[in-house]
């Protein structure tokens, strides 16, 4: 939170701060979605290989991957909103002095 107070102290508006945090949450969600999709597909291949006793590549489940990615992005955005509400309540001086 200390950097948020510094950003506000140098002139960033609250709306600019909100946009910065929300974009950061979206980026985290997108990166997590991509990593999760790759890891999930690899796990699907190994589970399928354990069941069938042979390793073979299958078509990636596109729709479930997209759904999981959307949920991941939404979760990251929601998780970003909680600190934003706390930051909005603090004065600039208080947010600079607050130790993380």
pLDDT for 4-23, tens place per residue?
Answer: 555 555 566 667 777 888 88
pLDDT for 30-59, tens place per residue?
Answer: 999 999 999 999 998 999 889 988 888 888
Cα separation, 43 vs 51, in Å, equals: 12
Q: What domain range includes position 56?
A: 34-93
The answer as to whether 48 is a domain residue is yes
3-class DSSP state of 73 = helix
CB contact at 8 A, 53 and 8: no
3-state secondary structure 11-54: CCCHHHHHHHHHHHHHHHHHHHHHHHHHHHHHHHHHHHHHHHCC
The answer as to whether 79 is a domain residue is yes
**Number of domains into which the chain is organized:** 1
pLDDT for 46-96, tens place per residue?
Answer: 998 899 888 888 888 899 999 999 999 999 888 888 877 776 666 655 555
The answer as to whether 1 is a domain residue is no
């Amino acid at each position: 939170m200390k950097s948020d107070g510094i950003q506000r102290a140098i002139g960033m508006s609250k709306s600019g701060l909100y946009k910065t945090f929300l974009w950061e949450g979206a980026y985290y969600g997108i990166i997590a979605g991509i990593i999760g999709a790759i890891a999930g597909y690899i796990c699907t291949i190994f589970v399928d290989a354990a069941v069938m006793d042979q390793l073979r590549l299958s078509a990636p489940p596109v729709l479930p991957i997209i759904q999981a990615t959307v949920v991941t992005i939404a979760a990251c955005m929601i998780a970003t909103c909680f600190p934003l509400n706390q930051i909005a309540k603090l004065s600039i001086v208080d947010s600079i002095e607050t130790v993380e």
